[in-house]
Structure 1
Amino acid sequence: MALRDSDPAEVGGYRIEDRLGSGGMGVVYLARSASGRRLAVKVVHGQYADDDEFRTRFRREVAAARQVSGAFTAPVVDADADAPRPWMATLYIPGEDLGTHVRRHGPLPPDRLRGLAAGLAEALRDIHRAGVVHRDLKPANVMLADDGPRVIDFGISRAAEAAGMDALTQTGRVMGTPPFMSPEQFASPQEVGPATDIFSLGAVLVYAATRRGPFDSPSPWETATRVVEGTPELTGVPADLLPFVRLCLEKHPKSRPGPDELLHLLREGRLPDPRPEPPVRQDPEPARPRRRRWWPAAVAATAVLAAVAATTVLARAGGSDPHDPHDLPAGWHTWHRQAADPTAGHPNAMGPSGPFSRCVLADRALVCAGDGIMAARFDLDDGRNVWTRPMDPTPAETSASGGGTIIGTRRGAVYAFGADSSDLRTGEEPQSRTRYTVQALDPDTGRTIWRTPVADTVDGIGPEYGGAVATPAGVIATYGDASDSYALLDAAHGKVRWQRDLPGGADSDCGLTGAGGQAYLICRDTDSKGDRERTVVTQLDPATGKARWQVTAKGLLSLLGETGGRLVLGADPVMEKLAGLTLIDASSHVLTTVRLSIPRNASGARLVRGTLYLTLTSGGVRAIDPRTGRELWQSNSTIEQPGPPTASATRLYLASPTGRLAALDLRTGKVTGTLPGRDESDNIGSGDTAAAPVLSGDALYVPYGLRSVYSVDIHDL
């Protein structure tokens, strides 16, 4: 994230290098000490510096963080609570927070989920042994480091022994994040003890496993009521962790185990189940919360009111937790915009002719590509088209440089393919020569951070057809003028760190793709007789490009995605009926095949949130369980030529190239809301499809028409 002119050059003698993020209470910077150590420096916003109570809380955060120094927390290096703008420096932990990771990549696979459970239990053991209660354990406060999770942000923690003496929790405020708070935090926050962190641990694990909390609701009132009295929704939590989660989510604090007991249960593999799992309700209405005798009704009602107030404060302070009601950027309103045409006036410019092919979130902005656009940025709140970069800034008369493809993102950068074409007049027929590049763009300004040539061809197929994968180390892309190899371009400078030949060279049918946070090379071939078709799946080590493992499957297959630690592959349903799926366990590499209950043709096949969705140009949608091949439901979305779907925790969203939108219930396929199209012009071709809608909090961003996007609050559908 780029630094701003108002940002300090140094804080406390530590040189500021970058912004890591900002929230309602302060800004976090990446800094470096004199010895070269990287630090995360949290600086409080100026408006809070004169608030004596806030300074007291900040001093307590520093003191609490200093007390905890386990392997699963971020140790404090330095701090000054008395500075004009208080600050605290902790050891920098590279990686995403759990909330961001799950929103971007989906639920964690079972093995990572179990590791997360153990790591957080160890972190809580260290925190509680230091006499501290965290009180705000949530996905945003869990960093996914390479060597395990780390718990951060002790902003509302306090000493366990000071429960009855803390004046700051006796002012009528409810502190915390409601979907991850414990029942006792709503009723009597002055009596909160270590058991409250155990309850939050259970809620965090449910979110990591399912991308939703166990008590989620659109209303803060109902969320608080569910936490206090309701039964947690645990559908999707792996069976071997269900007992662990249920123990954590016991309503009464004394019924919950401590961290040592949880670690013992994980090690021994014996997780007693405190009660049978409640049956899944078939009706769409939420279950009415059961009243427990230990919970006084008047206190519960007061707690719910306090939760509503606390949630409102969080929203006004700029909180971005995905569970906040009407989670929208500050100043957000519905909008629709068309990207500027960056090559307007060029003699060979074609002008807009269709919709974007992909849009992604990047540093609190929407960035889209396609139809000759390398990348275009729209502000999330008002849709302002801040910048637009063409795929080819000076297109040749015979240019065939492609439409523009976003490869992926990292903090402070968007990766995309670029091109520069020129006409060759050496023969009777004019030819086009194109130099293809991979570029890293600054999401704020569109400035090119680095540009690396990856191919130089004459009337050849560009490297975007071979695919590319964004990894923490950089971009793995097809490479060479003949696109006969693949290479890693490092994240910092785009330098080639390694290069390896593609199996079969330039004539191979190989592509790079990503799934489950890993990079894969998918190669398909047929023997000389044409009767033995196979697909070779190779997981790549980003550090070296070598194969971590390789599995060969029958048939010409495409990688549809990953769910539950298994890769899901299938034939192209456009070319032939999809009769079955091939599953590959990413840990054991065991290959299994699953027959579909009814073979299907489709215009698209997408794996979203663990379910395979087949779409038809007529608007038909079929949901299939990839583990069994069983059809879950079929529906008519009413959306013609639907593009790739997007899903929230409860609904599936489909859009047409003209901008018509439909929301379908994930469980039943019933259409629950629609919006009419916005572009019925003749420019939209019969073969066009738009990019998948992008969901950010409660805002849905829908690409459509001629390089256009509109936004909608999903609560209005």
Structure 2
Amino acid sequence: MAPQRSSGAGAEAELPEYAGHYRLESCLGSGGMGVVHLARSTSGMKVAVKVVHGQFAKDPEFRGRFRQEVAAARRVSGAFTASVVDADPEAERPWMATLFIPGPTLSDHVKRNGPMEAAQLRRLMAGLAEALRDIHRVGVVHRDLKPSNVLLAEDGPKVIDFGISRPKDSELRTETGKLIGTPPFMAPEQFRRPREVGPAADIFALGSVMVHAATGRGPFDSDSPYVVAYQVVHDEPDLTDVPSNLAPLVLRCLAKEPEDRPTPDELMRELRSVAASYDTQTFIPAQRAGERSVPEPVGKTEQPQPPSRRLRVRRAALVAGALLVVGGVLGSVELLGGERTASRSSSPGTAASVVRAWEAKPLSGDGGVPQCSVGSGRLLCAQRGLVFALNPSDGTLLWRRSVAETTRSGPPVLAGGLVQSLTDERGRLEAFDPASGTTRWQRSVPASNSMRLAGGTMLLTGADGRVTGVDSSSGETKWRRKLPGLSEPYFTAFPGDPLAYTTRASGASSTVVTAVDPGTGTVRWEKRLKGVLRPVGARDGSVFFLSTDAVGATKAVVRYTRRSDSSRRVALPVPRPDAMATVHGNVVHLLATGGSLEAFDLEAGRRLWHLETAVSRGSAPVSDGDHVYVSAADGRLLAVDARNGRLVGQTRPRLAADSDLVTAALPAPVITDHHIYAGAPDGTVFAVDARDPSAW
């Protein structure tokens, strides 16, 4: 069989004969990123196969996103989607095969048959609500729900295409990159703060899809996607011709704020009350001649018909304003937070005890993300200009006190039995009683470029390169001097390890690692190791590092063991940008910008697993051996099985109200006594049971 020739603008002249074991028979559709074929397996089963365009197959970033699409589609059951049959993201031309579903897309149906009747609309809305409930349950946000991504099958609508729309050719662009999605069906938060999008964005899209199904146009119609963007963010939707019994529910879906939109379960309950004769029979009219199922890959921006009826006189001003609210680059699937918070009775202290989940907001207003640690039976937290203590069992506020705004961020640290504050602009150290928050000592210290608590000693490095060791229990200076060979050391220390470490790169080929006794300032050992290294953990005489390339991306994890004077290196499949890591036993857990979470066993010398979380920015991961925990920028806490890398639970988002700001640094979750504690952008501190993430 000769390779199939495709037709249509932008389609490739020659198409492959096979994708894996699937023989490609005909072209169903072509989009900006690939071609979808009708194909058959060896046994004759019909499948729809998406084959990526050759130019994108050469792009490592795109391959990573395609892997994410495959992973997301596989997590969702086939009841409301096109089930993934097979895929090979690593092929020369990456491809994915899904079950072939007979039936038109909603977009094609409306174009050919006009708007749907009221009964059909009710069943469509219920089917899409069920589909989103199924999608959200497994931790996925679709982010591109639109009429061309809804197949009208005989047994109800199917949501398709969990990939990324137009990574290169979006019609809506900014100086900072590309806006991913289809403007008439995007939620306000996708324009205002695209990195902080949760499941409610899909509910907004559902509302827009329902307006299109009912009227043949969108609720924010315009010939210009920039005007659409402005209207989505600022204007009320046009629900003219939407049936009166559905219009209030559609309007709730189109609420500007995510928290004002209904959940999929609430939608289904409301729809049952809309019509007492609610039925679940098929609602697809007979297909017209020549209609066939087209699981549209990606591409065309939806431009609803007929032309806009809502364009304001101030159109030019709106276009200019819209340019200010559009921005961001993000994949079109993203993990989401659950819609419930576990709340259980508590009897802490035994392994069999049940942990009570709680949340507290100790401060009013915008104080930023609380950064917390645990010590002396308290949950110790810092927020802008304040330090406070909470009861770790129920979140009760025990004490709160003001502190000077610091030049360094981070949670309060307990050392020498006291809560240690950070150095402020005036070079002041202060220590508080953890039981009451009263000051136990304070002192001025030389202005320092860096500080680090190591064991019971605060290490301060001054501008002259001298290091001062301050006793954390008394505030007295233990020692002060320049360390040999170290011009301006920046120290790193890890819980349970008696030493502090500083590194200095020697060009791009090696790093000198120096281990210092923080109590005396004595250099215990020094070693030159291959590569540019950054320490991320230490245990039992071994130090763990990330090895970075010329632009700072992590390309390997390294363990150096002092006793045997040996090192072990495990290379990453691809360099990971802005990676953060933690160590548990001999396993390094690494999270990179973009959401790649990986586990590397330095004893076995191999990567254990890899998960695309789709968290665009997260905290450093932490692990208790059973799970790996990560905080997301939208306030979610994610739990991943430490054995196999499977997502097993996550909390709901907790975003700051009316905030378009992105948190600069996210504090890592805190693990202790079967609790996981985390801070969120809305100012809350919350606790969940570490042993049962599925109940979060």
Query: TM (normalized to structure 1)?
Result: 0.44
Query: TM (normalized to structure 2)?
Result: 0.46
